[in-house]
Amino acid sequence: MTGLKLIWIVPILPLLGAITNGLIGKLLSKRAVTFVALGSTGFSALFALFAFIELLSLDPSSRISESILFTWIESDKFIAEAGIQIDPLSGVFMLIVTGVGFLIHIYSVGYMGHEDGYSRYFAYLNLFMFSMLLLVLGNNFLIMFIGWEGVGLCSYLLIGYYYDKNSAVDAGKKAFVVNRIGDFGFILAIMWIFWTFGSIDYTSVFPVAHEVLPIGGFTVTGITLLLFIGATGKSAQIPLYTWLPDAMEGPTPVSALIHAATMVTAGVYMVARCNALFNIAPTSMIVVASIGAITALFAATMGLYQYDIKRVLAYSTVSQLGYMFLACGLGAYVAAVFHVITHAFFKACLFLGSGSVIHGLSGEQDMRQMGGLKKLMPLTHITFLISTLAIAGIPVFAGFFSKDEILLSAFFGETQGHLIYWALATTAAAVTSFYMFRLYYLTFSGVLRSTDQHVRDHVHESPPVMTAPLAILAGLAILGGLLGLPIIKDAHILKSFLAPVFSTRGAIEQPHPPMQIEFLLMAVSVGVAVIGIMVARYFYYTNPESAKKLAKKEGWIKIVYRTIQNKYYVDEIYDAIFVKPIFLASRDLLWRIFDMKVIDGLVNGIANFFYKLSQTIRKTQTGFVRNYAMIMVLGVVAVISVWFIVLGD
Partner 1 sequence: MESIPLLSILIFTPVIGMLSLIFVDNKNKNLIRSLAFGISAINFLVSLLLLTNFKTTHEMQFVEKHLWIKDFGVYYSLGVDGISLFLVLLTTLTAAICFASTWKAITKHVKEFMISMLMLEAGMIGTFCALDFFLFYIFWEVMLIPMYFIIGIWGGQRRIYAAVKFFLYTMIGSVLMLVAIIWMYFHYNELTGEYSLDILSYHGLPIDPAIQIWLFLAFFLAFAIKVPMFPFHTWLPDAHVEAPTAGSVILAGILLKMGTYGFLRFSLPIFPEATIASINWISVLAIIGIVYGALVAMVQSDIKKLVAYSSVSHLGFVVLGIFALNTQAIEGGLLQMINHGLSTGALFLIVGVLYERRHTRLISEYGGIAAKMPIFAVIFMVVTLSSIGLPGLNGFVGEFLILLGVWESNKLFAILASTGVVWAAIYMLWMYQRVMFGKVTNPKNMDLQDLNLREISYFAPLLILIFVLGIFPTPVIKMMEPSVVHLIDQVGIENRKPLVTVIKEPDKKSNSNYKKLISANNKNIITSRSEKLTKVLNHVYSNSNRKKNSPQ
| Among 14, 17, 160, 331, contact with partner 1 (rule: CB under 8 A) | 160
Which runs of consecutive H residues, i.e. helices, occur in 361-492? 373-376, 378-392, 398-412, 418-444, 453-458, 464-479
- Contact with partner 1 (CB under 8 A): which of 199, 306, 388, 415? 199
Write the CB contacts of 220 (distance below 8 Å, at least 6 apart in sequence). 209, 213, 214, 277, 280, 281, 284
Residues within window 366-385 making contact with partner 1, judged by CB under 8 A:
none
Q: Say how many C-beta atoms besides its own lie within 10 A of residue 148's C-beta.
A: 29
Amino acid at the residue 617: I
Q: Which of the residues 331 through 360 are near partner 1 (CB under 8 A)?
A: none
Rounded Cα–Cα distance for residues 501 and 507 (Å): 12
Q: Among residues 102, 119, 133, 201, which is the contact residue for partner 1, using CB under 8 A?
A: 201
Number of residues interacting with partner 1: please give it, by CB under 8 A. Answer: 59
Q: In 10 A of CB 517, how many CB atoms?
A: 13
Least distance (Å) from partner 1 to the CB of residue 636? 34
The reply to whether 187 sits near partner 1 by the rule CB under 8 A is yes
Nearer to partner 1, 449 or 505 (CB): 505
The answer to whether the CB of 122 falls within 8 A of the CB of 21 is yes
CB of 158 to partner 1, least distance (A): 14
Stretch that binds partner 1, among 156-164, 258-266, 294-302, 449-457 (CB under 8 A): 156-164
125 to 154: interface string for partner 1, x by CB under 8 A: -----------------x--xx--xx--x-
Per CB under 8 A, does 163 bind partner 1? yes
**Helical (H) or strand (E) element with 74:** strand 65-75
Q: Which of 90, 120, 89, 381 is nearest to 254 (CA)?
A: 120
Phi, psi of 372 (to 5 degrees): 70, 20
- Chain positions 450 to 509 lying near partner 1, rule: CB under 8 A, are none
Question: For residue 592, how many other CB atoms are within 10 A of its CB?
Answer: 11
Give the shortest CB-613-to-partner 1 separation in angstroms.
Answer: 15
Residue of 8, 78, 561, 574 interacting with partner 1 (CB under 8 A): 78
Minimum CB distance to partner 1, residue 146 (Å): 4
Q: Which of 75, 416, 451, 453 binds partner 1 (CB under 8 A)?
A: 75
Residue closer to partner 1 (CB basis): 153 or 420 = 153
The answer to whether residue 534 forms part of the interface with partner 1 (CB under 8 A) is no
- Of the candidate spans 39-47, 195-203, 456-464, 634-642, the one that interacts with partner 1 by CB under 8 A turns out to be 195-203
- CA atoms 454, 456, 458, 461: torsion sign: positive
**Cβ 75 to partner 1, closest distance in Å?**
5
Asked if 498 and 410 count as a contact pair (C-beta separation under 8 A), the reply is no
Q: Select from 77, 489, 512, 618 the one that contacts partner 1 (CB under 8 A).
A: 77
Q: Kindly state the smallest distance separating residue 607's Cβ from partner 1, in Å.
A: 7
Asked if 76 touches partner 1 (CB under 8 A), the answer is yes
Site string for partner 1, 580-609 (x = CB under 8 A): --xx-xxx--xx---x---xx--x---x--
**Strand-pair category, 78-86 with 65-75:** antiparallel
Q: Establish if 644 lies at the interface with partner 1 (CB under 8 A).
A: no
Please say whether the dihedral angle defined by the alpha carbons of residues 357, 352, 259 and 16, taken in this order, is positive or negative: negative
Q: Tell me the β-bridge partners of 71.
A: 81
Q: Could you tell me the smallest distance in angstroms from the CB atom of residue 157 to partner 1?
A: 8
User: Considering the rule CB under 8 A, would residue 615 count as an interface residue with partner 1?
Assistant: no
In 3D, which of 341, 335, 365, 361 has the Cα closest to residue 351?
365
Q: State yes or no: residue 164 binds partner 1 (CB under 8 A).
A: yes
Rg, Å, the chain Cα set: 31
Residue type, 258: I
Which of 165/375 has CB closer to partner 1? 165
Question: Of the two residues 163 and 643, which places its CB atom closer to partner 1 in the complex?
Answer: 163
What is the SS3 string spanning 548-567? Answer: HHHHHCCCHHHHHHHHHHCH
Q: How far is the CB of 535 from partner 1 (least distance, A)?
A: 43
Nearer Cβ to partner 1 (378/605): 605
User: Considering only residues 60, 198, 214, 581, which one is a binding residue for partner 1 as defined by CB under 8 A?
Assistant: 198
Query: How many helices and strands, by DSSP H and E, does the chain display?
Result: 31, 2
DSSP conformational letter for 366: B
CB of 503 to partner 1, least distance (A): 12
The Cα 473–Cα 380 span in angstroms is 12
Which residue in 16, 46, 49, 181 binds partner 1 (CB under 8 A)? 181
Q: How is residue 542 annotated by DSSP?
A: I
- C-beta separation of 421 from 410 below 8 A: yes
> How near is the Cβ of 156 to partner 1 at its closest, in Å?
8
DSSP collapsed to 3 states, 295-352 = HHHHHHHHCCCCCEHHHHHHHHHHHHHHHHHHHHHCCCHHHHHHHHHHHHHHHHHHHH
Compute the least distance from the CB of residue 136 to partner 1, in Å: 16
71 or 614: CB nearest partner 1: 71
Residue type present at position 151: V
As to burial, measured by CB atoms within 10 angstroms (0-12 exposed, 13-18 middle, 19+ buried), residue 580 is: exposed
Q: Least CB distance from residue 26 to partner 1, whole Å?
A: 8
Give the whole-angstrom CA distance, residue 140 versus residue 84. Answer: 8
Distance CA 375, CA 500 (A): 49
Q: Name residues contacting partner 1, limited to 208-227 (CB under 8 A).
A: 208, 211-212
| Cα–Cα distance for residue pair 164/175, rounded to 1 Å | 17
Tell me which residues touch partner 1 (CB under 8 A).
Answer: 70-79, 142, 145-146, 149-150, 153, 156, 160, 163-166, 169-170, 173, 176-177, 180-181, 183-184, 187-188, 191-192, 194-195, 197-199, 201, 203-204, 207-208, 211-212, 582-583, 585-587, 590-591, 595, 599-600, 603, 607
